[in-house]
Amino acid sequence: MIYLDNAATTPITPKVMDVLKESMDSDFANPGTIYSIGLDAKKLIDRAKEDIAIALNIPSTHKIIFTSGGSESNNLFIKGHYFPDKKVAYLGLEHPSVREPLEYFSSFGNDPFNMLKYQTQGRLDLKNISVLSDTRSKLLCLSHVNNELGTVNDPVSVYDALCENSPDTRLFMDGVQAVGIFKLSSTIWRGLSGYSVSGHKIHGPKGIGLLIYDAKLSITPIIHGGHQQDGVRSGTPPVPLIRAIAKAISIASERIDEMQEHYEFLKNRLIQGLYDLSDHIPELNIRFNSLVDDDHKRQSPSIVNFSFPPVEGEVLLHHLEAKGIFVGLGSACSASSKKPSRILLGIGLSVEETRCSLRISFSGNNTINDIDVFLEEFSIAYKNLYPTFLRMNRKN
Amino acid sequence: METRTLLIRYDEIGLKGRNRKHFENQLVKNIRYALRGIQNIKINKIHGRILGFVNLADADKCIDYLNFVPGIASISIGHSMEPDFDKIAKLGISLIQTKLQDLGQLKFCVRTRRSNKSFPSTSKEFNFEVGSRIMETLSSKGLSVDINRADFVLEVEIGPQKTIVFDNRVPGLKGLPVGSSGQVLSLLSGGIDSPVSTFKLMTRGCRVHSIFFDNRTFLGRGGYDKVIRLANILNRYQGGGKLFVIPFQDIQVAIRDHCHDMNRVVLYRRMMYRISNVLAELNNCHALVTGESVGQVASQTLKNLAAVSCVTQMSVFRPLIGMNKHEIIKDAKKIGTFDISIEAQPDCCSVFMPDHPTTRSKIKYLESDERLFPWEELMAQALASVEIINLDELNSRV
């Protein structure tokens, strides 16, 4: 099996699995209890928080809350601090777990400010950031790394631009696709009011994520109950999952330089391979929807998104699946939907180009051979399918 | 250990003449199969009824299982006892008392049915004797008699060996017992209609095997997984069903690439019918079943239905033919397939479906299209690659 859909999810790494298994076996006590084994469980959570803070350079000004994953973290911050009457801006290219809570505000008469017209190549064009001041936006929500394109909104540049042009606007970033790919520095945290992380995108388990936010802010909980985690997120904290995400984050952070280099290598091989295929197959026209340059302030090296009209991505995906190759079709969270990707439409693709696209995303498990096999099978499938789609297009 | 008696009434079998025994035996066999997981159960056939003797703790579970057995009109959980007025009245009092305490007032009656005609009292006399004894105790507490509008009916069935007393009737699926009418083959898709048509033939006594035309190279495995789940649910109503999975992509691609666009859908269906015909004959099935309903989609016009039916000599049953979508959905919800049927299923209509499918296909043009690709060869290949899933073994797989 060749798995190239790591932006959807990643397999658990063996060292994380060891922690998870051992902890499932031994750390059963409720960390909210006052007897010794409960206190031990609480200590393990505190230790995990310390490890996470060290790995991600999170300063003491920020608080870490464990959630069920990235979607909950996004919802918790947006609804917990900005619901329903504060003006919130977003680019319009975010994951649905950012976009939909904001759009939900509209039903309370508080329309979010959509900045799609200020996007360039999938990123917020900072030249126009002063509109946030004009609209009195209290919060700007962005993806650190876009989940379909891999394009980057650099937190430091965005924060600097905000300080200069709209100092009252805070910044929240969905960091689900960024952790493990980019280093988070204390400079970055200075500008971030909130940031979300997911365990299963970095070879950790599903069902665990983080909301990291500025401790000065008050967050109204979505889940009420046992007052765990200072009442911000009730529910018995899952010690094994918490220990496992801490381990996954530590491993990912330790290997960032090595991984960036690895992803860059894979990405360049893929992009060059696709260019070569275009040269050899006259009927193949590749359009890269993600950026092909190596500037990490603009593009994640772990995601490549491209279109190849007239052949449909979904059909190609199944042809590759038959060969044991698994790739992404837009966002995994909405791939079952028949609607064209809002992100790809948002950056100016036609409906056809949107339908005729795939997302390839890497992990440390991928090799050059994976890319070469993918390229070979992609070209075979494309050549087989092209006549059919050409015929269909001519009729239309 | 306290026991209860299940009183199982037939549906249409009661109307049968000399064949009746055959139907009764099949129903008993199906009931034994449905209740095979219940410990220490005894099933007996008596005149016009089937009785089951079970531990009290298993009685409700038996009803759950019997709700999946076609051919049953209704089921009651009762007490087997002597036909003694005092004892039956005592039981009646205990059953009524709890309800009376909750409601304050209650209208009741006793209804007796005697299949043992040698019993000395008539049904009316029996009703009176038991009813008056109950009234003696409970009339002062709010109980009254109302034969036509009773809130509570105490029923007594006096048979040659057993007298059964009960206060409940759970409706059954009705129809005929599966296996009493032979085998058929149903064309099952992941949609709403074909599971309902499959179910309808089961309630007419047929054992229904299913066939699914799979195109996972283009559509992925989602449709296949969905059909397996649907077939598994449907098999609960019969047991012993098989699902035949035919790889259909090569045929679909050939039709798409070589034939007139407008005829594609009818041509796909003609191939499905031909393949189903062969598999049905090989597996001792005597008819095909489809979920078609006149005018529902372009392929289901009268002309197109005729154009697909003519490729098979076999009877084609279309139990939904005159039903509207609301009725079909209601049935699908009742049998438990609706929620799966409406799950989003990957499709690529744009690849295989024409923009303007014909609603009045002409057989001579369809045959002329079929000369443009080697359908016999492709059909043989598809049949050679059939996957056969024994649905009884499925639960360990899914």
**pLDDT tens for residues A300-330?**
999 999 999 999 999 999 999 999 999 998 6
Interchain proximity B344–A337, CB inside 8 Å: yes
Task: In whole angstroms, give the CA distance from residue A352 to residue B26.
Answer: 57
Buried b / exposed e along B36-67 (16+ C-beta atoms within 10 A): eebeebebeeeeebbbbebbeebbeebbebbb
Contacts of B268 (CB under 8 A, 6+ apart): B248, B251, B252, B255, B352
Interchain proximity B256–A388, CB inside 8 Å: yes
In chain B, % of residues over pLDDT 90: 77
Q: State the CATH number of the domain containing residue A105.
A: 3.40.640.10
Buried b / exposed e along B366-376 (16+ C-beta atoms within 10 A): beebbeebebe
Q: Does B234 share its domain with B323?
A: yes
Q: Does A195 share its domain with A293?
A: no
* Cβ atoms within 10 Å of A128's Cβ, excluding its own: 15
CA B278 to chain centre: 26
Task: In whole angstroms, give the CA distance from residue B209 to residue B235.
Answer: 9
Q: Does A243 share its domain with A281?
A: no
Q: Pick the closest to residue B312 from B287, B337, B333, B329 (CA basis).
A: B287
Q: Does B123 share its domain with B246?
A: no
Q: Pick the closest to residue B13 from B185, B145, B255, B204 (CA basis).
A: B204
Residue to test with chain B: of A392, A393, A394, A396, most B Cβ within 10 A: A392
Q: Please list every residue in chain B whose beta carbon sits closer than 8 Å to the beta carbon of residue A392.
A: 350-351
* 3-state secondary structure at position B318: coil
**pLDDT single digits (tens) A66-96:** 999 999 999 999 999 877 778 999 999 999 9
Interchain proximity B261–A395, CB inside 8 Å: yes
Q: Does A197 share its domain with A313?
A: no
- How many domains does chain B fold into? 2
Q: Does A142 share its domain with A235?
A: yes
Nearest to A312 among B216, B220, B351 (CB): B351
Last residue of a domain, one of A192, A220, A254: A254
The dihedral of CA A152, A155, A161, A165: what is its sign?
A: positive
Query: Which pLDDT band holds residue A137 (cuts at 50, 70, 90)?
Result: very high
* 3-state secondary structure at position B113: strand
Q: How far is CA A244 from CA A96, A205, A247, A258, A383, in A?
A: 26, 7, 5, 22, 44
> Out of A178-182, A294-298, A339-343, B171-175, which region has the weakest mean confidence (pLDDT)?
A339-343
**Total count of residues recorded for chain A:** 396
Partners of residue B44 on adjacent β-strands: B51
Q: Pick the closest to residue A196 from A282, A320, A67 (CA basis).
A: A67
Yes or no: say if B46 and B161 are a contact pair by the CB < 8 Å rule.
yes
Please indicate, yes or no, if residue B97 is contained in any of the structural domains: yes
Kind and range of the H or E element at B180? Answer: none
Residue A378 sits in which domain range? Answer: 2-6+256-395
Q: Are strands B207-214 and B183-187 parallel, antiparallel or unpaired?
A: parallel
* 3-state secondary structure at position B74: strand
Min Cα separation B217/chain A (Å): 5
Between residues A84 and B371, which one has the greater pLDDT? B371
Per-residue pLDDT averaged across A113-135, rounded?
94
Residue B162: the pLDDT is: 85
**pLDDT single digits (tens) A146-194:** 999 999 999 999 999 999 999 999 999 999 999 999 999 989 999 999 9
In chain A, % of residues over pLDDT 70: 97
Token couple for B284? 């001792």
Nearest to B350 among A337, A387, A392 (CB): A392
Q: State the CATH number of the domain containing residue A313.
A: 3.90.1150.10
Task: In whole angstroms, give the CA distance from residue B277 to residue B256.
Answer: 23
In this model, does residue A243 exceed pLDDT 90?
yes
Q: Which residues of B touch A (CB under 8 A)?
A: 216-221, 253, 256-257, 261, 344, 346, 348, 350-351, 355
Q: Please list every residue in chain A whose beta carbon sits closer than 8 Å to the beta carbon of residue B218.
A: 315, 318-319
Q: Does A152 share its domain with A177?
A: yes
Q: Does A245 share its domain with A305?
A: no
Min Cα separation A315/chain B (Å): 5
Q: Please list every residue in chain B whose beta carbon sits closer than 8 Å to the beta carbon of residue A336.
A: 344, 346
- How many domains does chain A fold into? 2
How open is the CA angle A45-A199-A241, to the nearest 5 degrees?
40
Complex confidence, ipTM: 0.76
Please indicate, yes or no, if residue B178 is contained in any of the structural domains: no
Yes or no: say if B254 and B379 are a contact pair by the CB < 8 Å rule.
no
Residue B132 sits in which domain range? Answer: 3-171
Q: State the CATH number of the domain containing residue B370.
A: 3.40.50.620
Q: Does A201 share its domain with A58?
A: yes
**pLDDT single digits (tens) A12-71:** 999 999 999 999 999 999 999 999 999 999 999 999 999 999 999 999 999 999 999 999
Task: In whole angstroms, give the CA distance from residue A263 to residue A285.
Answer: 24
Interchain proximity A312–B219, CB inside 8 Å: no
Residue B119: the pLDDT is: 81
Q: Does B239 share its domain with B356?
A: yes
Min Cα separation A396/chain B (Å): 9
Q: State the CATH number of the domain containing residue B33.
A: 3.30.2130.30
Q: Does B159 share its domain with B246?
A: no
Nearest to A388 among B217, B257, B346 (CB): B257
Query: Which pLDDT band holds residue A331 (cuts at 50, 70, 90)?
Result: very low
Q: Please list every residue in chain A whose beta carbon sits closer than 8 Å to the beta carbon of residue B355.
A: 395-396
Interchain proximity A336–B344, CB inside 8 Å: yes
Q: Does B118 share its domain with B248?
A: no
Q: How far is CA A136 from CA A88, A165, A166, B155, in A?
A: 9, 11, 8, 76
Q: Which residues of A touch B (CB under 8 A)?
A: 312, 314-315, 317-319, 321-322, 336-338, 387-389, 391-392, 395-396
**pLDDT single digits (tens) B58-110:** 999 999 999 999 999 999 999 999 989 999 999 999 999 988 988 889 999 99
Interchain proximity A338–B351, CB inside 8 Å: no
Q: What mean pLDDT value characterizes chain A?
A: 93
Interchain proximity B351–A319, CB inside 8 Å: no
* Cβ atoms within 10 Å of B253's Cβ, excluding its own: 20
Query: In terms of CA atoms, which chain A residue is nearest residue B215?
Result: A318
Residue to test with chain A: of B351, B353, B355, B356, most A Cβ within 10 A: B351
Buried b / exposed e along A191-224 (16+ C-beta atoms within 10 A): bbbbbbbbbbbbbbbebbbbbbbbeeeebebbee
Interchain proximity A318–B217, CB inside 8 Å: yes
The dihedral of CA A261, A266, A271, A272: what is its sign?
A: positive
Residue A6: the pLDDT is: 97
3-state secondary structure chain A: CEEEECCCCCCCCHHHHHHHHHHHHHCCCCCCCCCHHHHHHHHHHHHHHHHHHHHCCCCCCEEEEEECCHHHHHHHHHHHHHCCCCCEEECCCCCHHHHHHHHHHHHHCCCCEECHHHEECCEECHHHCCHHHHCCCCEEEEECECCCCCEECCHHHHHHHHHHHCCCCEEEEECCCCECCECCCHHHHHHCCEEEEECHHHCCCCCCEEEEEECCCCCCCCCCCCCCHHHCCCCCCCHHHHHHHHHHHHHHHHCHHHHHHHHHHHHHHHHHHHHHHHHHCCCCCCEECCCCCCCCCCECCCEEEEECCCCCHHHHHHHHHHCCEEEECCCCCCCCCCCCCHHHHHCCCCHHHHHCEEEEECCCCCCHHHHHHHHHHHHHHHHHHHHHHHHHHHHC
Q: Please list every residue in chain B whose beta carbon sits closer than 8 Å to the beta carbon of residue A389.
A: 351
Q: Does B160 share its domain with B199?
A: no
Q: How far is CA A310 from CA A133, A270, A287, A314, A353, in A?
A: 43, 20, 12, 12, 8
Yes or no: say if B385 and B251 are a contact pair by the CB < 8 Å rule.
no
In chain B, % of residues over pLDDT 70: 97
Interchain proximity A318–B253, CB inside 8 Å: no
Q: Please list every residue in chain B whose beta carbon sits closer than 8 Å to the beta carbon of residue A338.
A: 344
Torsion angle of alpha carbons A39, A45, A46, A50, nearest 10°? 160
Interchain proximity B346–A314, CB inside 8 Å: yes
Between chain A and chain B, the number of residue pairs with CB atoms below 8 A apart is 38
Nearest to A315 among B221, B261, B348 (CB): B348
Determine the longest span between alpha carbons in chain B, in angstroms.
88
Yes or no: say if A294 and A271 are a contact pair by the CB < 8 Å rule.
no
Residue to test with chain B: of A314, A327, A389, most B Cβ within 10 A: A314
Contacts of B26 (CB under 8 A, 6+ apart): B71, B177, B178, B179, B180, B205
Nearest to A312 among B261, B350, B355 (CB): B350
β-sheet with B315-317: strand ranges across: B315-317, B287-289, B183-187, B207-214, B242-247, B387-390
Residue A263: the pLDDT is: 97
Token couple for A391? 């015929």
Q: Please list every residue in chain A whose beta carbon sits closer than 8 Å to the beta carbon of residue B350.
A: 312, 392
Please indicate, yes or no, if residue B239 is contained in any of the structural domains: yes
Query: In terms of CA atoms, which chain A residue is nearest residue B252?
Result: A388
Q: Please list every residue in chain A whose beta carbon sits closer than 8 Å to the beta carbon of residue B344.
A: 336-338
Give the HSE-up count for residue B316: Cα atoms under 13 Å, Cβ half-sphere: 24
Q: Does B204 share its domain with B155?
A: no
Buried b / exposed e along A300-339 (16+ C-beta atoms within 10 A): bbbbbbbbbbbbbbbbbbbbbeebebebbbbbbebbeeee
Give the HSE-up count for residue B132: Cα atoms under 13 Å, Cβ half-sphere: 6
Token couple for B314? 């076999």
Task: In whole angstroms, give the CA distance from residue B65 to residue B319.
Answer: 25
The answer to whether the peptide bond before residue A84 is cis (omega within 30 degrees of 0) is yes
Q: Does A212 share its domain with A299?
A: no
Q: Does A233 share its domain with A268?
A: no
Interchain proximity B351–A315, CB inside 8 Å: yes
**Contacts within 8 Å (CB) and 24+ apart, B120-128:** B126/B83, B126/B85, B126/B156, B126/B158
Please indicate, yes or no, if residue B176 is contained in any of the structural domains: no
